[in-house]
Structures are given as structure tokens and as C-alpha cells.
């Protein structure tokens, strides 16, 4: 059999199994396009943020343009001050790394589709291959057919991935997606070299998928394969060794025992990458366990399913028990996608809870009028403030990163008292010349706590409190930057005089109760018409921060949407390939009286099983994955995050997993219903 015939057979096979070929091509294309789109967005995000030190970690940090700050412990020893550049940018670097790692989920699901498609081909074409062997074809010639098929899938998929990258990139940029959430991309630069390399890696993964089929072909025994089927003794399900069962608890214990040492010894980014590596290892081990779980647990899951048809239920149970390895590919894909989806939403839930908790006291009770350009508020704006409104005027912040702002103790105390916050009244009462209140992030950077000292210029001020609920004023810039500051009393204003204006830059106030809603709206409208003024209503600002949190993580939603699409394609492809392999069985069921409706329901039940078990495994993996993600965020940031699992998240995740699998099973069920019984039996 020459090379030309091998090529012809490869093309014929690809065309005869068009759905499987299309699924494999989409697996390579969408996997490569997702990774490439993330790279494009990340590169362009860096370009946009390169102009400012606050968003570009590669620029040198120049502190001569701002006030000098130093930290001292209560006993007079200098505190350990963290690098401002590292503190400012490390959490964003972690986020960028997480996004790049997250994009690999689409690549992995795509690779699963390719590997499964090619692995079942040998089983489906075993008799055909045996006939070719008996006619004189050499094992290497048969293996060449699979190599050519994989090469064609990889080449077409990689090329399609390159073509899809600009489309997805422009759509994501138009939607405002970036890898840090701090900028907006107006134009796109495409790193074509990286894009082509990613496409080549995707194509190479398809070629790797042909390795096992090629080895199976070389070991094929033609005489055994061509025997009548009633002499084969029935199919036997493959059994695993069970060793992966031991590795899961081992990796878990390794993580629990060594995590405190990793956290102390490693930089934050390295710690995050190590946690990501351990999570990936745990996932890969769990993937190895899935076939065994499908066989042993799957039958019980099916028995618990509300299936009214006894025949369909029995057949589904037998299918799961005998073909667990085959169905495990679909279950693994669903598990991967929805575990990542659950972990992402647990992380955003924790961040939203942090924002909401902070805003409750620091933002929500007040209305802020401020100059976004860090200049003094115009006199006419100050004069227009309601006379009987309780207010506090704040100076401009000293230039970043050493942000210090001043306020009158009397005004601050009156403001928080009017807001009904007695605990903060006590803190404001203690703010006198010679003292300071520092935010959580500023305290973290300088290694300070209450009772320590922050030296501002040449004067040492005692830290009376570490809190984010006093001294916040809105500013243009990243959320983290706006929450990194030190608050001093106006009596120490001379320390920052050369950086600030005499008039306040921001005023926080509480509307008089007697003032009507219409008058409030009129004043706000007038202020917002002024170019040098912005107005933020506390409740609106708090809600906007929650929306910003969603926006920062929106790029993960894009990644997971594409991965979910691939998972659905994988489930459908799995069932279509299974249908081809079960043509004789399906035809016999129809001959003995099973209706088309019952047959369709049997395939839908399989989809329900794949989604149900995959969704359950996603919950098992997604909850610890979410815990690891939140733990990493706590390490790399000063946000006060707490881990919690809303029950509704678990329910929605499982229901969505089941829904995706059921939708993916509709087309295979339709194909099964329309299959010709006579043709299938005659073929066999």
C-alpha cells in the first residue's frame, strides 16, 4: 500500500466521520484561539499601561516627587518596608498569570476531544484494518493513515485558530476586556510570532493524539480481529490499577503540611504558581480516576436518576459499567469546565463581599464631591454645598505611591457621628496632631500596626488605627491604589503643604434630612455639569465597585464560555462516536421492539448521566480550587477575604452542567432515532 493510497484512505476516513473530524478540528482551533486571544489582550494591556508607573512595573520608581515616608515599630526599631513597586503590581501580575493559566483549560478540553476521537477510531475500524493487514498492508503503512489524519486535523485546526484569534480579540477588546481590569484597549497589536507558535503547539497536540492509535495498529492481530463476534466472549471493560486513589490524598496532605512553609519562604507570585501547579497535578490525577469512578459510582448514579423506562435505565446502567473508559472523556471535560467556573465565582463572591463590607461604612453613608484632576474644588462648588449638611473636607493626596491626605478632626468626627458609626467616632476623636490613621494596604506595605509610628517627612506620627473605613476619598485609578493612604490631622498639614492646596480637593457630606430628593438631584446635576468636578453618591459608588469586580474577572467568563462550548462539542462527539460503534446493538434494539422515542430517551439519559456525574465531580474539585484561589488572593493582596460557599452556587453549577450535557446529547439522540436498522444489521 503506497503513500498515495494511505493519503486517500485518510481523507476518506475523515470525510466519512465528518462530525468527529469537525469536533477534533474545533478542539484544536478553539483551544489555540483562546490561548492566543489571551496573549493578544495581555500584550495590548501592557502597551496601554506602559505610560504610567502605577500600571507599569518596568518603569523606575521615582519618590522624589512625593512626601518621604518611613516606618518604625513601637520600640523605635525601623519596620520592614516592602518594595512599593512589588506591592503595587504583584497582585496584578498574579491575575495576569491566572488568566494565562486559565486559558489552558480550553486547550486541554480541545486536546481531550482530539485524543478521544483518535483513540476510538482504532476500535471502530478494527475489522477494516485487519482486512488491510490480511491483504498485505504493513503495520507502519496502517499507522501512516492515522498520522495523516491527525496531521490534517492539526493543520486545519491550527490554521483556523490563527484566523479566529483576530475575531475573538477584537470582540473582547470591544467589550472592554483586559488582563488587569485597569485600562481600555483602543487598538490592537498582534504578536503573530507567538500566535503561530501557539497554533503549532495545538497542531502538535493533535499529532500526539495519534501516537496511541498508531501503537494499537502495530499490535493488531488480524486473525483474532476477523473472528466472528460470537466467539469473542463479549467485551471486557478495562480496569485501572487503583494507584491514582492513593495519590489524591498524598497530594492533599502534601499541600496541607507544606503550605505554611511555602507561604513564608516564597514570593507571592512564586507561591501562587506553586499552588496552581499543585491544583493542576490534583486535577490530572482526578482525570486518571474518572474512568474508575464512572464504572464503580456511575451505575449507582444512574439507578438514582428519575428514569421511568426500566429498559432504558437497565441499558444505561450496563453501558456505564462496561464502557466507563469511553464515557469518562465527556465526564472529565464537564468536570474541568464547571470546576473552574465554580472556583471563579467563589473568588468573585469573596471579592464582592469584601467590597460590600468595606463600602458599608466607608462609602455608602456619604456623597462625595471631588476634583478628579487632584486640584482644589472651585469656590462656587464649595459655596453650593447645603449649609446644614454635615461635611468633612479632605486635602489632595500626596503623589503616588506615598499617599497622605489631611482632614479636620472636628469635621471627621461630626461626619461619622452623623452616619451613626460610634466605633469610628472614637477613632476620629483620637486623631490629633502627632498621630495618623493608615489604611490596611499602607500598613501592610510599611509593616505597621496600631501603636507603631509612620514618619512623614521629618516628623514621626503614631499610628492610632489601621482601618479602611476612615479617610477614603474617590480617585481616578486602580481600586487598590485608592485604598492605600495615610490620614493626618490638619494640625500636621505643614508636612504635606508643598504637595496640596489650601482648599479641599474632596468633600464628603451627608445630605440634610429636610432636603427633598428633587433638590438633591438638581444639585447633583449642576455639579456634574462642571468640568472640574465629579460627584459620587455612596450607594452608587459601592455598586460601581462591585460591577468593577465583575468586569475585572469578565475575561475569565470569555475563557470559560469557549471552554464550555468545547465541552459540549466533546460530549456530542463522544456520543456520536459511541453511536457508530453501537450500530449493531442499536439496530437490534429497534428490531426487537424498542421505539424511536425510547431509543432517543436512552441517549438523553446518557447525556443526563454525563452532566450529572461531571457536575458532581466539578463540585468536588471546584470548592477546594476556589479555596486555593482565595488563599492566593489573601497572600498577594491586603484584601480581607473570607471563604464561603453559597449553596445556590453549587445548585446552579450542577444544573448548568446537566443542561450543557443534555443539549449536547440532542443531536446524537436524533441521529440514533433516524438510524436504519436493516442497513446496520446487513452491514454486520
What tens digit of pLDDT does each residue of 417-434 get? 999 888 899 999 999 999
Per-residue pLDDT tens for 43-53? 898 888 776 66
Residue 267 lies in a domain: yes
Same domain, 332 and 400: no
Same domain, 493 and 521: yes
Same domain, 661 and 550: yes
Per-residue pLDDT tens for 105-162? 788 788 878 877 777 766 667 667 777 777 677 777 777 888 888 889 999 999 999 9
Same domain, 524 and 402: yes
Of the pLDDT bands very low, low, confident and very high (cuts 50, 70, 90), residue 371 is confident
SS3 453: strand
Cα torsion 659, 660, 665, 666 to 10°: value is 70
Residue 314 lies in a domain: yes
Among 619, 112, 74, CA closest to 346: 619
Same domain, 550 and 670: yes
At residue 258, the pLDDT reads: 57
C-alpha cell belonging to residue 421: 458609626
SS3 517: helix
Residue 604 lies in a domain: yes
Same domain, 356 and 380: no
Residue 263 lies in a domain: yes
What's the whole-number mean pLDDT along residues 556-580? Answer: 79
Residue 548 lies in a domain: yes
At residue 683, the pLDDT reads: 45
The last residue of one of the domains, among 476, 498, 532, is 532
Domain containing 580 equals 239-361+543-684
CB neighbour class for 613 (10 Å; exposed up to 12, middle 13-18, buried from 19): buried
User: Running DSSP on this structure, what letter comes out for residue 382?
Assistant: H
At residue 273, the pLDDT reads: 64
Same domain, 550 and 488: no
Give the chain's end-to-end CA distance (angstroms, integer): 26
- Residue given cell 491604589 in the structure block: 481
Same domain, 389 and 480: yes
Same domain, 515 and 390: yes
Secondary element (H or E) of residue 390: strand 390-394
What is the rounded distance in angstroms from the CA atom of residue 485 to the CA atom of residue 54? Answer: 14
The last residue of one of the domains, among 477, 497, 532, is 532
Residue 98 lies in a domain: no
Whether the full predicted model's pTM is greater than 0.85, yes or no, is no
CB neighbour class for 593 (10 Å; exposed up to 12, middle 13-18, buried from 19): exposed
At residue 235, the pLDDT reads: 41
Provide the 10 A C-beta neighbour count for residue 300: 10
Q: Does residue 487 register a pLDDT over 90?
A: yes
* Cα–Cα distances in angstroms (integers) from residue 183 to residues 47, 177, 401, in the given order: 10, 9, 19
Residue 507 lies in a domain: yes
Q: Average the pLDDT over each of 81-95, 135-149, 498-512 and give the range with the smallest value.
A: 81-95
Q: For the CA atoms of the chain, what is the radius of gyration?
A: 32
Same domain, 579 and 492: no
Of the pLDDT bands very low, low, confident and very high (cuts 50, 70, 90), residue 196 is very high
C-alpha cell belonging to residue 422: 460610634
Give percent above pLDDT 70 in the chain: 74
At residue 238, the pLDDT reads: 39
At residue 641, the pLDDT reads: 80
Per-residue pLDDT tens for 311-353? 666 666 666 666 666 677 778 778 888 888 888 888 888 888 8
Of the pLDDT bands very low, low, confident and very high (cuts 50, 70, 90), residue 412 is very high
- Residue given cell 501580575 in the structure block: 93
Of the pLDDT bands very low, low, confident and very high (cuts 50, 70, 90), residue 476 is confident
Is the separation of the CB atoms in 553 and 344 below 8 Å?
Answer: yes
Secondary element (H or E) of residue 151: helix 139-174
Q: Does residue 213 register a pLDDT over 60?
A: yes
At residue 375, the pLDDT reads: 80
Is the separation of the CB atoms in 100 and 38 below 8 Å?
Answer: yes
Q: Average the pLDDT over each of 8-22, 321-335, 488-502, 513-527 and give the range with the smallest value.
A: 321-335
In the sheet with 506-510, reading across from the earlier edge strand, the strands are 69-72, 453-456, 459-466, 435-438, 486-489, 404-407, 390-394, 506-510, 367-370, 534-537
Same domain, 250 and 379: no
At residue 37, the pLDDT reads: 92
Secondary element (H or E) of residue 647: helix 647-673
Q: Average the pLDDT over each of 126-135, 242-251, 506-515, 646-655 and give the range with the smallest value.
A: 242-251
Chain-wide mean pLDDT for the chain? Answer: 79
Same domain, 672 and 567: yes
The last residue of one of the domains, among 465, 500, 532, is 532
Structural domain tally of the chain?
A: 2
* Cα–Cα distances in angstroms (integers) from residue 30 to residues 27, 70, 161, 263, in the given order: 6, 51, 6, 36
Would you list the DSSP string of 582-641?
A: THHHHHHHHHTT--HHHHHHHHHHHHHHHHHHHHHHHHHHHHHHHHHHHHHHHHHS----
What's the whole-number mean pLDDT along residues 251-267? Answer: 57
Residue 352 lies in a domain: yes
- Residue given cell 511555602 in the structure block: 262
SS3 404: strand
Cβ-Cβ contacts under 8 Å for 99 (sequence gap 6 or more): 38, 42, 179, 555, 556, 559
At residue 246, the pLDDT reads: 47
SS3 313: helix
C-alpha cell belonging to residue 632: 492566593
Q: Are strands 367-370 and 506-510 parallel, antiparallel or unpaired?
A: antiparallel
- Residue given cell 483562546 in the structure block: 34
Q: Does residue 71 register a pLDDT over 90?
A: yes
At residue 642, the pLDDT reads: 84
Half-sphere exposure of 384 (CA within 13 A, CB side): 17
What's the whole-number mean pLDDT along residues 545-570? Answer: 81
Q: Does residue 242 register a pLDDT over 60?
A: no
Give percent above pLDDT 90 in the chain: 19
At residue 308, the pLDDT reads: 63
Amino acid at each position: 500500500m503506497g503513500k498515495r493510497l494511505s493519503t486517500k484512505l485518510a481523507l476518506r476516513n475523515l470525510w466519512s466521520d465528518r462530525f468527529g473530524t469537525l469536533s477534533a478540528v474545533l478542539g484544536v482551533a478553539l483551544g489555540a484561539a483562546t490561548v492566543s486571544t489571551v496573549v493578544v489582550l495581555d500584550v495590548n494591556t501592557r502597551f496601554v499601561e506602559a505610560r504610567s508607573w502605577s500600571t507599569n512595573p518596568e518603569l523606575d520608581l521615582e519618590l522624589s516627587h512625593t512626601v518621604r515616608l518611613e516606618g518604625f515599630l513601637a520600640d523605635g526599631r525601623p519596620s520592614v518596608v516592602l518594595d512599593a513597586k512589588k506591592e503595587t503590581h504583584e497582585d496584578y501580575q498574579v491575575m495576569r498569570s491566572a488568566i494565562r493559566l486559565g486559558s489552558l483549560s480550553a486547550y486541554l478540553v480541545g486536546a481531550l476531544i482530539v485524543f478521544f476521537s483518535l483513540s476510538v477510531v482504532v476500535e471502530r475500524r478494527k475489522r477494516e484494518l485487519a482486512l488491510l493487514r490480511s491483504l498485505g498492508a504493513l503495520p507502519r503503512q496502517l499507522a501512516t493513515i492515522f498520522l495523516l489524519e491527525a496531521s490534517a486535523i492539526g493543520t486545519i485546526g491550527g490554521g483556523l485558530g490563527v484566523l479566529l484569534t483576530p475575531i475573538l480579540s477584537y470582540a473582547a477588546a470591544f467589550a472592554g476586556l483586559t488582563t488587569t481590569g485597569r485600562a481600555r484597549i483602543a487598538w490592537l497589536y498582534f504578536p503573530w510570532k507567538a500566535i503561530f507558535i501557539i497554533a503549532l503547539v495545538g497542531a502538535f497536540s493533535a499529532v500526539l493524539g495519534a501516537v496511541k492509535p498508531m501503537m494499537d495498529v502495530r499490535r493488531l492481530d488480524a486473525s483474532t480481529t476477523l473472528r466472528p463476534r460470537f466467539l469473542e466472549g463479549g467485551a471486557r471493560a478495562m480496569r485501572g490499577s487503583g494507584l491514582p486513589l492513593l495519590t489524591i490524598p498524598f497530594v492533599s496532605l502534601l499541600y496541607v503540611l507544606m503550605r505554611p512553609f511555602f507561604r513564608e519562604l516564597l514570593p507571592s507570585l512564586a507561591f501562587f504558581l506553586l499552588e496552581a501547579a499543585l491544583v493542576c497535578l490534583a486535577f490530572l490525577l482526578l482525570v486518571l480516576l474518572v474512568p474508575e469512578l464512572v464504572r464503580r459510582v456511575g451505575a449507582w448514579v444512574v439507578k438514582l436518576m428519575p428514569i421511568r423506562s426500566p429498559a432504558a435505565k437497565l441499558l444505561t446502567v450496563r453501558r456505564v459499567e462496561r464502557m466507563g473508559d469511553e464515557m469518562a472523556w465527556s465526564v472529565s471535560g464537564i468536570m474541568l469546565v464547571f470546576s473552574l467556573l465554580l472556583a471563579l465565582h467563589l473568588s468573585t463572591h469573596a471579592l464582592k463581599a469584601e467590597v460590600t463590607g468595606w463600602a458599608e461604612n466607608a462609602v455608602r453613608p456619604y456623597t462625595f464631591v471631588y476634583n478628579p484632576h487632584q486640584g482644589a474644588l472651585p469656590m462656587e462648588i464649595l459655596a453650593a454645598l447645603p449649609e446644614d449638611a454635615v461635611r468633612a473636607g479632605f486635602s489632595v493626596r500626596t503623589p503616588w505611591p506615598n499617599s497622605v491626605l489631611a482632614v479636620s478632626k472636628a469635621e471627621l468626627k461630626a461626619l461619622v457621628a452623623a452616619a451613626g458609626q460610634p466605633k469610628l467616632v472614637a477613632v476620629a476623636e483620637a486623631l490629633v496632631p502627632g498621630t495618623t490613621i493608615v489604611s490596611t494596604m499602607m500598613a501592610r506595605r510599611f509593616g505597621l500596626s496600631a501603636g507603631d509610628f509612620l514618619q512623614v517627612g521629618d516628623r514621626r506620627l503614631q499610628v492610632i488605627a489601621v482601618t479602611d473605613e476612615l479617610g477614603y476619598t474617590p480617585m481616578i485609578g486602580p481600586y487598590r491604589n485608592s485604598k492605600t493612604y495615610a490620614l493626618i490631622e490638619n494640625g500636621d498639614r505643614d508636612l504635606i503643604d508643598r504637595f496640596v492646596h489650601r482648599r479641599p480637593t474632596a468633600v464628603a457630606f451627608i445630605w440634610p434630612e429636610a432636603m427633598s430628593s428633587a433638590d438633591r438631584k438638581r444639585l447633583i446635576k449642576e455639579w456634574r455639569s462642571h468640568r472640574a468636578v465629579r460627584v459620587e453618591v455612596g450607594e452608587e459608588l459601592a455598586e460601581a465597585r462591585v460591577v468593577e469586580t465583575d468586569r475585572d474577572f469578565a475575561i475569565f467568563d470569555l475563557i470559560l464560555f469557549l471552554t464550555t462550548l468545547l465541552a459540549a462539542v466533546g460530549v456530542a462527539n463522544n456520543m456520536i462516536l459511541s453511536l457508530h460503534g453501537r450500530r449493531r446493538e442499536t439496530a437490534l434494539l429497534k428490531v426487537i421492539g424498542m421505539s424511536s422515542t425510547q431509543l432517543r430517551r436512552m441517549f438523553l439519559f446518557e447525556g443526563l448521566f454525563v452532566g450529572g456525574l461531571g457536575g458532581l465531580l466539578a463540585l468536588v474539585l471546584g470548592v477546594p480550587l476556589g479555596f486555593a484561589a482565595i488563599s492566593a488572593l489573601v497572600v498577594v493582596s491586603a484584601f480581607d477575604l473570607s471563604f464561603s460557599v453559597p449553596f445556590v452556587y453549587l445548585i446552579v453549577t450542577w444544573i448548568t452542567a446537566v443542561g450543557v450535557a443534555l443539549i449536547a446529547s440532542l443531536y446524537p439522540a436524533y441521529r440514533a432515532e433516524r438510524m436504519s436498522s436493516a442497513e446496520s444489521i446487513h452491514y454486520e
